[in-house]
C-alpha cells in the first residue's frame, strides 16, 4: 500500500474518500439529502500500529440541492485478520444541515398518515429510468446502503449502490417510517454485485436507521444494473 502523499485521482485516495461519503450519509442522509464525492483535492496515508491512517481534503456534493462543501477527513483502517469498520472523523463547511427541510416534513407526514403502503421495484429500471415519485425512496435506499458499505469497506474495496431491487413500506412504529429494502451493491474492484436485505426506519428527527441486515446468497450470473445519482 502507498504511503506518504497520495495522487488525488488514483484509487487509494478515491477509495478512502468514498468511505467518507458513506460515513456522511449515515449521519446526515435522508430521502431528500444524499451526499456524494465530488473531488479529492489532496491526501496522505501513514502506517500506524495495527492500522493505517488517511488524511484527506475533499469536496462533497449534496445531490438533491446541488450544494457543495469543502471537507477535511481522517480515516483509520484497522489491520489484522478480523475486519472491522473503518473509523472516520470529518468536518465540512456549508454542506451538513441537521434541521429537517420542508420536503422532508411533507414526505414524512404524507407517508406516516397514509393507509396505502407504498412499494416499488427495479429502481432504476434496465434503461436507467425511475418515476419521479420513486426518487425519495431511491435516495433513502442509497443512504441506508451507506450503512452497509461503510461497515464492509476496507482498503481493497470501492462500493456504490447499483439498484433498489424492491422496497415495501411497513406500518409506522414509534413515529418512525419503516421499510423493507432489497438493494444491489456494486463492489467496483471485483465487479461483484452483492445483494442485501435491510430493515430501515426514518423520521426527520431521528434520521435513517438500519435495524436489520441480511446478506443474500451470491448471484453468479448477475450483471451490474444501470446506475444513476439523480
So where are the chain's domains? 4-216
pLDDT given at position 49: 83
Q: Residue 96 and residue 61: Cα distance in Å, rounded?
A: 10
For residue 79, the model assigns a pLDDT of 80
pLDDT at position 50 is 84
Task: Assign domain 4-216 to its CATH architecture.
Answer: Roll (3.10)
DSSP 3-state of 195: strand
pLDDT at 184: 98
Which value, to the nearest 10 degrees, does the dihedral of the CA atoms of residues 201, 18, 137, 112 take? 30
Helix (H) or strand (E) holding 64: none
Distance from C-alpha of 82 to C-alpha of 34, rounded to nearest angstrom: 30
Q: Cα angle at 129 between 127 and 131, to 5 degrees?
A: 150
Mean pLDDT by 10 residues, the chain (230 residues): 89 95 96 96 93 96 92 92 85 80 94 92 95 97 98 94 98 96 96 97 96 87 55
Q: Model pTM?
A: 0.91
Q: Indicate the SS3 state at residue 211.
A: strand
Q: What's the CA angle centered on 50, arms 49 and 55, to 5 degrees?
A: 75
Per-residue model confidence (pLDDT) at position 208? 97
Amino acid at each position: 500500500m502507498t504511503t506518504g502523499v497520495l495522487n488525488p485521482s488514483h484509487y487509494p485516495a478515491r477509495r478512502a474518500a468514498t468511505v467518507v461519503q458513506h460515513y456522511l450519509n449515515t449521519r446526515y442522509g435522508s430521502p431528500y439529502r444524499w451526499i456524494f464525492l465530488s473531488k479529492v483535492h489532496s491526501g496522505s496515508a501513514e502506517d500506524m500500529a495495527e492500522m493505517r491512517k488517511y488524511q484527506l481534503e475533499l469536496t462533497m456534493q449534496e445531490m438533491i440541492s446541488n450544494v457543495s462543501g469543502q471537507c477535511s477527513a481522517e480515516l483509520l483502517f484497522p489491520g489484522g485478520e478480523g475486519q472491522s469498520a473503518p473509523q472516520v472523523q470529518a468536518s465540512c463547511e456549508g454542506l451538513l444541515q441537521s434541521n429537517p427541510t420542508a420536503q422532508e416534513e411533507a414526505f414524512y407526514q404524507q407517508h406516516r398518515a397514509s393507509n396505502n403502503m407504498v412499494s416499488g421495484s427495479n429502481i432504476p429500471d434496465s434503461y436507467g429510468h425511475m418515476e419521479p415519485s420513486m426518487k425519495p425512496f431511491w435516495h433513502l435506499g442509497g443512504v441506508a446502503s451507506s450503512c452497509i458499505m461503510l461497515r464492509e469497506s476496507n482498503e481493497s474495496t470501492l462500493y456504490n449502490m447499483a439498484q433498489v431491487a424492491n422496497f415495501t413500506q411497513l406500518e409506522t412504529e414509534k413515529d418512525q417510517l419503516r421499510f423493507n429494502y432489497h438493494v444491489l451493491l456494486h463492489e467496483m474492484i471485483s465487479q461483484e454485485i452483492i445483494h442485501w436485505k435491510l430493515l430501515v426506519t426514518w423520521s426527520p428527527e431521528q434520521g435513517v436507521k438500519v435495524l436489520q441486515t441480511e446478506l443474500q446468497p451470491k448471484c453468479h450470473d448477475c450483471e451490474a444494473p444501470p446506475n444513476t445519482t439523480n
